[in-house]
Amino acid sequence: MLPSLSMSLGTMTADAEQPWAQEVRRARKGDSSAFAALVRGLQRPVFGLCLRLLRTEAEATEVAQETFLRAYQNLERFDETRPFDLWVLTIARNLCLDILRRRQKVQTEDLEPHALTFASSEPNSEEKAIDNQQRQSLEDAMGTLSADDREVLALYYVQKRTTKEIAVIMGVAPGTIMARLFRAREKLRTRMMAAERGAA
């Protein structure tokens, strides 16, 4: 991860130069290595968001790649005073929502959530294995939630975005995010309780 990405977390200052500004300017002039640096810094959160929304790895990869291509094509339209990472995440979100809408329209997709394994790079001790199992059951429960709930939980807890940043990405008022988070957590809690009861 680029140092500039961690700098952008939790900060949204409009007057100071944005952390991505130099790379964006160089990429606009046709410097492909600058654009590669931007992709390298954002590939994980973009892919992560796509995967949590779409629930299929192949589609998430395709959409994440399309996101960066769209960002490249529209670099001229990007407002440099705004955070670049939020702009790219908004593109990714819109592309994912298009696909989800198409899925609902066609209704060929099965309604059961796909069983996804979120790989961990940690050592394989017994304790870690239990830990991974707990995480996997949490991911599975998250997978049963609606796309809106998955999105808000992923952005807040996994990507550690502020409520203001999430509001920018989702295009809603910042005041509504905490309520959405609460409702998503509550749904997650009831799903997990039901799953535990089913397993017992």
The span from the CA of 19 to the CA of 21, in Å, is 6
Nearer CB in complex with other proteins: 101/172: 172
Instruction: Determine the 3-state secondary structure of 8 from DSSP.
Output: helix
Q: Is residue 72 near other proteins by the rule CB under 8 A?
A: yes
Nearer CB in complex with other proteins: 19/156: 156
| Residue 126: CA count within 13 A, CB half-sphere | 0
The span from the CA of 179 to the CA of 33, in Å, is 41
Q: Is residue 78 near other proteins by the rule CB under 8 A?
A: no
- Stretch of 15-23, 31-39, 81-89, 97-105 contacting other proteins, by CB under 8 A: 31-39
The span from the CA of 120 to the CA of 93, in Å, is 24
> Which tokens sit at 32?
């492909």
Q: Is residue 56 near other proteins by the rule CB under 8 A?
A: no
Q: Is residue 90 near other proteins by the rule CB under 8 A?
A: no
User: How many residues belong to the site for other proteins (CB under 8 A)?
Assistant: 49
Q: Is residue 157 near other proteins by the rule CB under 8 A?
A: yes
- Dihedral sign of CA atoms 168, 171, 172, 178 in order: negative
Kindly state the helix (H) or strand (E) to which residue 62 belongs, with its residue range.
Answer: helix 57-73
- Stretch of 16-24, 42-50, 96-104, 107-115 contacting other proteins, by CB under 8 A: 42-50
Nearer CB in complex with other proteins: 32/101: 32
Q: How far apart are the first and last CA of the chain?
A: 41
- Dihedral sign of CA atoms 139, 141, 142, 147 in order: positive
Q: Is residue 69 near other proteins by the rule CB under 8 A?
A: yes
Residues that bind other proteins (CB under 8 A): 10, 28, 30, 32, 35-36, 39-40, 43-45, 47-49, 51, 61, 64-65, 68-69, 72-73, 76, 118-121, 134-135, 138-139, 153-154, 156-160, 162-163, 178-179, 182-183, 185-186, 188-189, 192
